[in-house]
Amino acid sequence: VPIQHTIGIHLLYVFVNIDIQITHFYDTIKQNFNSNKNSLKIALVSTIQFIASLQAAKKQLEKDGFQIIIPQANPLSPGELLGCTSPKLPDDVSAIIYLGDGRFHLESIMIHNPKIPAYQYNPYSNEFTIEKYGFEMLLSNRQKAIEIARKSKRIGLILGTLGRQGNIKIFEFIEQQLINSGKQPIKILLSEIFGSILDKFNSIDCWVQIACPRLSIDWGHTFKLPLLTPFEMSTAILSNNNLIKLNDYPMDYYANESRGPWTNNHENYRQNRKKKIEHISLIKC
């Protein structure tokens, strides 16, 4: 349930921090980039448990003459990545360095910024690697799914019920868009989305899921019928090929500054926050 819809419920958000060998991290960066540090601008990113280490590394690297930025996709913390949400970087950024293990979160910013070289520092193995992503294949696969959806009539509309993934506002938006375009939405609630479950529905032409965009991006090609994200279905409905541009696939599912109402924190879905009570200082006489 989105926090903005839990009026009256008190929330304590506990940030988890994992300490790493920060000296080895920035020594590795200096070893690999020191020779041309004056001409480079490096973006440091990570997952939430290593964010504090990013700030410490930035401070030390800047003392050594490096140009370092820690980008932010609000409302996430500076430098924080999600698998479906990452910052769009300025054109003058020369490299992305991801502090963390695994590729899932790193791939988010690689998809969002396909022209910028990406590197990974694994704090558990202390390995520093060059990372690649098949962005052209991604665009090709997703464009094919969009074209099929554009011609489809009966659309399976899935609302994910697992944890925080589903959003009823996006669900209702896509449903109305399908109806307005003359398509028939078949509404389904699922906690997990498996091909074996979807195959039991015989009268569906294609699917759109309001759960995890990466399920479609990473695994959509393994389903018998196209499985689209809300963004992709909106592209199909609007018949606007420009929504997916060459070298530009958005990763803004939880970002405040998103492209449209197919994302969680779009301005259409934000409630007006009550102003805080003015702080009154008491002066002793």
Domain spans in the chain, listed from the N-terminal domain onward: 22-133, 136-269
Task: Tell me the C-alpha distance between 69 and 62, whole Å.
Answer: 10
pLDDT at site 236: 93
- Same fold: 22-133 with 136-269: yes
pLDDT at site 285: 47
Q: Mean pLDDT in runs of 10 for the chain (285 residues)? A: 65 84 94 90 97 95 96 96 97 97 97 97 97 94 94 97 88 96 96 95 96 96 96 87 72 93 88 54 53
Tokens of 270: 């934000």
Q: Is-contact 129 120, C-beta < 8 A?
A: yes
17: which DSSP letter? -
4: left (phi over 0), alpha (psi -120 to 50) or beta: alpha
* Cβ-Cβ contacts under 8 Å for 209 (sequence gap 6 or more): 158, 160, 193, 215, 216, 227, 228, 229
Cβ atoms < 10 Å from Cβ of 91: 7
Task: Tell me the C-alpha distance between 236 and 226, whole Å.
Answer: 12
In the block, tokens 């102003």 appear at 275
pLDDT at site 115: 95
Task: Tell me the C-alpha distance between 225 and 96, whole Å.
Answer: 35
Q: What angle do CA 163, 82, 26 make, to 5 degrees?
A: 140
Task: Tell me the C-alpha distance between 89 and 100, whole Å.
Answer: 19
Kindly report the backbone phi and psi dihedral angles of residue 176, in degrees, each rounded to the nearest multiple of 5, phi listed first. -65, -40
Assign domain 22-133 one CATH number from 3.40.50.11850, 3.40.50.2000, 3.40.50.620, 3.40.50.1100.
Answer: 3.40.50.11850
Cβ atoms < 10 Å from Cβ of 14: 4
Task: From 143, 49, 158, select the one nearest 100 (Cα to Cα).
Answer: 49
Q: What is the C-alpha radius of gyration for the chain, rounded to an integer number of angstroms?
A: 22
Assign domain 136-269 one CATH number from 3.10.20.30, 2.40.340.10, 3.40.50.11860, 3.40.50.1000.
Answer: 3.40.50.11860
